[in-house]
Chains A and B, each alone.
Chain A
Amino acid sequence: MAISLRNLSVDYSLQQGTAHALRGVSLEIQEGEMLGLVGESGSGKSTVALALMGLLANNAQVTSGTATIEGKNFDLTKRNATAALRGRGMAMIFQDPMLSLNPVFTIGAQLCEVLRRRAPGSDRKTRVEMAQDALAKVKLSNPARRMNQYPHELSGGMRQRVVIAMALLSEPALLIADEPTTALDVTVEAQIMREIIGLRDRIGCAVLLITHSLGLVTEYCDAISVLYAGEKLESGTVEEVQRQPGHPYTRMLFDCEVPIDRQRHADASENRFTVIAGELPDPRLRPPGCIFNSRCDVSFEDCTTINPSDYPVRNDAGHSARCLRLRTP
């Protein structure tokens, strides 16, 4: 069953004024698929995850938004709207695995606790076996020994595997991974991504992968949504969006990415890099017109006054972007 998030708006109250971190963001993830949510830091990616999980900071307020998960609707403006889903219908992997692990309990105890909450009737022995089995599934070496170890005895990559094992045991309908590999080396990153894919394929859940790396998205995701300054500017299948970005911002993001096989100038000092000039607008005061206007390289007069709605790209129902250049006259 598809997961959907509709019209999510989140404000943070600041000492001076209110930051509008998200404005009317909608996402859809098909069952068994992975959606990559990309955008510069500060664009609101983590806020989306935290709003879904009900883990927003105290100064945050959800001003609008509903979610549909496992066929049920949740009004996200209510505190603890999705509390019933935490640890069951939804699971989250943070960049720092220690946010999900308790330093004073063994790995085994924490995995068994997930199972106890999920299947209260099960006996201890079964839980231990299942926990150990989960560690083996995420390819943690020596699972029997790991059960009795504490988080601090493991490396960063191993801890992230434990968190994935926990998610595996909770069998969520939606798995949210917020920059799960940003702190890891490339070789470990590739392994962790493979485990996340493995988890998805085992339980058939939807995955929301939050990342600033388009490389990861094109390599592992089915669909992509692009967030900029709290607004979604484009979404579609990875293939379509990559082939023909509908929004100039998406195109510029792809241009900034440095492929490992890029044409290389013989004189290394001649190799140049792409930049998106300018900065994110002040989240307290939205400029009129298109939110990306001040940094856009193809903007025209209307862009300063008209806030574009979502237009289909190439008549493709699944691919849309908010750019006035897509208007059909």
Chain B
Amino acid sequence: MTDAISISNAQLRFGETVALDGVSLSIRRGTCFGIVGESGSGKTTLMRAILGLQRLDHGEIRILCNPLVHSRAALKQRAGFIQPIFQDPAASLSPRSRIRTLMNEVGTVLREPHAATRERLGVILNRLGLPPGVIDKYPHEISGGQARRVAIARALLMKPSILIADEPTAGLDVSVQGDLLNLLQDIRRSDNITLVVISHNLAIVRLIAENAVVMRAGKVVEGGEIGSLFGSPQEVYTRDLLAAWPSIRAANTKR
């Protein structure tokens, strides 16, 4: 099976801060890959590098076997097969345009007639459980959960083969978090998408990903198949992370 994303020895500094310190990993096509780690460990920076929004100091990133090229044309072309869902959905939705405008832009990028984009959009909105009227709203008029769905709808409209989501459930109540995760699971199954999920929620990553890496201070501390990574972690840091996780224990075994 070919790799959707492969990264070798990615290095990047911001002044004194080493944001990425020799990260290497590969993500197989059609799988879900988790990136976990404490805040400041370099997860978002890695995502931005994968999207070509952030140049590396050293190292190489290949998307679907092609090396990342940093030109406007390449960036635009890449948008056709790799799509981000940023942590703050409002940041990816322009505050002054209605959601409709945002969606129409997709048609322009894909050089698709507006009518065709609109028809696909109708199907996607329906599938994400968003009311059709949502496209006439401004980003501030919708709830956090809805904003995240709109960001996903927009990403899906681009027909990507790789979806990369930064903390997709952060700030959501448990009652709606499951809905979003089920949705991502459905999309994976029906569209055979490669899904990269960045999250500090170990319990969730453990359930949706096949493989994962644990990052700390710009380095991959440990990585591998999720069952063995979480079942028998080799590194002290991974063990500490798992031990700190507040867990619902069976009521009768408590204390």
Contact = CB atoms under 8 A, between A and B. Distances in A.
B248 A256 contact: no
B158 interface: no
A213 interface: yes
Contacts of B241: 186-187
A260 B244 contact: no
A243 B251 contact: yes
Interface size class of B (residues with CB under 8 A): 35 or more
Contact of B244 (A186, A261, A262): A186
A119 B166 CA distance: 49
Contact of A190 (B32, B206, B246, B255): B246
Contact of A256 (B38, B177, B207): B177
A272 interface: yes
A189 B38 CA distance: 11
B175 A253 contact: yes
Contacts of A269: 32, 185, 188-189, 208
Contacts of A214: 174, 248
A19 to B, nearest CB: 16
Interface string B230-250: 100000000011101111110
Given A264-B206, A273-B182, A185 B200 contact: yes
B185 A218 contact: no
B96 interface: no
A187 B189 contact: no
For the residues of B in contact with A, the DSSP-based class is helix
A260 B202 contact: yes
A266 B191 CA distance: 20
A40 B173 contact: yes
B204 A41 contact: no
Given A186-B241, A268-B207, A253 B247 contact: no
Contact of A268 (B175, B176, B201, B208): B208
Contacts of B189: 269
Contacts of B185: 269, 271-272
A271 B204 CA distance: 10
Contacts of A253: 174-175
A74 interface: no
B246 A213 contact: yes
A185 B178 contact: no
A262 B203 contact: yes
A282 interface: no
Given A40-B173, A40-B175, A219-B246, 8 more contacts: A213-B246, A218-B247, A256-B174, A258-B201, A261-B247, A268-B208, A272-B178, A273-B177
Nearest first, the 6 A-B pairs at minimum CB distance are A273-B178, A215-B246, A276-B175, A256-B174, A243-B251, A190-B244
21 contacts: A185-B38, A186-B244, A187-B241, A187-B244, A215-B245, A218-B254, A219-B246, A219-B249, A220-B246, A239-B254, A242-B254, A243-B252, A256-B174, A258-B174, A258-B203, A260-B202, A268-B207, A268-B210, A269-B188, A272-B182, A276-B176
